[in-house]
Amino acid sequence: MHELSLTQSVIRIVEQEAARQGFATVKTVWLEIGELSSVLPDAMEFCFQAVAAESPVAKGAKLEILRVPGTAWCLDCAQSHPIAQRFDPCPACGGHHLTVTSGEEMRIKEMEVA
């Protein structure tokens, strides 16, 4: 379960930002997770509660996950299209020369702090 190490990294970033910006606690973390990222949102939520409980800054914090849809640029038809899986063909022309443009990311979008 790589979500545990990803969650530990998220909490570490939250703690670093608390030290840098001078806030004492974080109430909510909004985390963007791309649909093509291979990160399981349910596992992230489970791990977040366990890891945040050990952090003085993040204890009791709530995790809000924002799903980022997968999109790709088709080199054959020169258009951007939504894709559900990395190796799906272009929904417009059926080509397989796609470059993923979104949906692979995982990042902290926002934090509510006190």
Instruction: Let me know if residue 77 belongs to a domain.
Output: no
The enclosing domain of 11 has a CATH number of: 3.30.2320.50
Low-confidence ranges of the chain (pLDDT < 50): none
Q: Using one digit for the tens of pLDDT, what is the confidence trace for 73-97?
A: 999 999 999 999 988 999 999 999 9
Short-list 109, 80, 104, CA closest to 93? 80
pLDDT at 1: 57
- Domain boundaries, position 45: 3-69+104-113
This prediction's pTM = 0.89
DSSP 84-99: SSTTPPPTTT----EE
